Amino acid sequence: MLKKPFWIGLLVLLPLSLVAGVYLFARQTYQPYGTRLLNPRPVDALDFSLTAHDGRRRSLRDFEGKVVLIFFGFVNCPDVCPTTLLELSKVYKALTPAERERVQVLLISVDPERDTLERLASYVTFFDPSFIGLTGSPEEIAAVAKKYGVFYQKSNIKSPTEYNVDHTATVFALDPRGNLRLIYGSGKAAETDRVVRDVRWLLRG
């Protein structure tokens, strides 16, 4: 009985090993908790220039090298905004000190008429001293909100200074290159451990 040459056995085994390798790689590929954008939006499409609560003008490019978590809200928000910022503060505090150096949380005001720099500073730093509040003219805020697909409008208007603001309650997660990679719908940031894993995945690039 003739024996098959050794190389024929290799030709049979090689495709099988490749298939197994691809399968294992697929199993090990990280699946983020946040909704993943199939086509991440680049920094050029998302950049802005707004005034931070310390009075300095800041742009998205100022945070290059960091994972940036952005939420649109306002100081007088009765529930969603403080809840979301509290959730993000838990995520931030769950990171190591070295990781925190590479993560920035931003609140962009959708109520520029009432959210003064002083009010923003007191509000965002209550949740964490590193958090930054951003505001600008109504036109500037509208332009930034449009870039991110954020909706907002005044409601329950009682006077020029007494009203609510309905707004999109989404957290946007950008990678260290400024690309929008993940989004979290209302309430999803409450899963601290899962969001922390996402942040670490983004930090790894």
Q: Residue 205 — pLDDT band, cuts 50, 70, 90?
A: confident
For the chain, list the strands marked E by DSSP. Answer: 35-41, 49-52, 57-59, 67-73, 103-109, 132-135, 152-159, 162-167, 171-174, 180-184
pLDDT at res. 24: 40
Stated pTM of the model: 0.85
Question: What is the rounded average pLDDT of the residues 42-59?
Answer: 96
Q: What pLDDT shows up at residue 21?
A: 45
Residue 149 lies in a domain: yes
Distance CA 60, CA 89 (A): 20
- What's the pLDDT tens digit per position in 20-34? 444 344 445 899 999
Look at residue 187 and tell me if it is in a domain. yes
Determine contact, residues 145/134, Cβ cutoff 8 Å. no
CATH of the domain at 175: 3.40.30.10
What are the φ/ψ torsions at residue 155 (nearest 5 degrees)? -145, 165
Average pLDDT value for residue range 161-182: 96
By three-state DSSP, how is residue 61 classified?
A: helix
Please check whether residue 163 is in contact with residue 155, taking contact to mean a CB–CB distance below 8 angstroms. Answer: yes
Within-domain flag for 82: yes
Domain count, the chain: 1
67 versus 23: the higher-pLDDT residue is: 67
Mean pLDDT, to the nearest integer, of 136-153?
97
**Residue 4 domain-assigned?**
no
Query: For the chain, what is the mean pLDDT?
Result: 90
Confidence at residue 28, expressed as pLDDT on a 0 to 100 scale: 57
Quick check: 46 pLDDT over 50?
Answer: yes
Q: Are 50 and 134 in contact (CB under 8 A)?
A: yes
Nearest C-alpha neighbor of 76 from the set 185, 163, 158 = 163
Say if CB 109 and CB 75 are below 8 A apart: yes
What pLDDT digit, counting tens, does each position of 71-130 carry? Answer: 999 999 999 999 999 999 999 999 999 999 999 999 999 999 999 999 999 999 999 999
Distance of CA 26 to the CA centre of its chain: 25
166 pLDDT above the threshold of 80: yes
Enclosing domain of residue 174 = 35-203
User: What share of the chain has pLDDT > 90, as a percent?
Assistant: 83
Q: Does the residue 19 lie in any domain?
A: no
CA angle, residues 194, 172, 56, in degrees to nearest 5: 125
Instruction: Say if 25 falls within a structural domain.
Output: no
8 domain-assigned: no
Residue 197 has pLDDT above 50, yes or no: yes
Give a yes or no: residue 47 inside a domain. yes
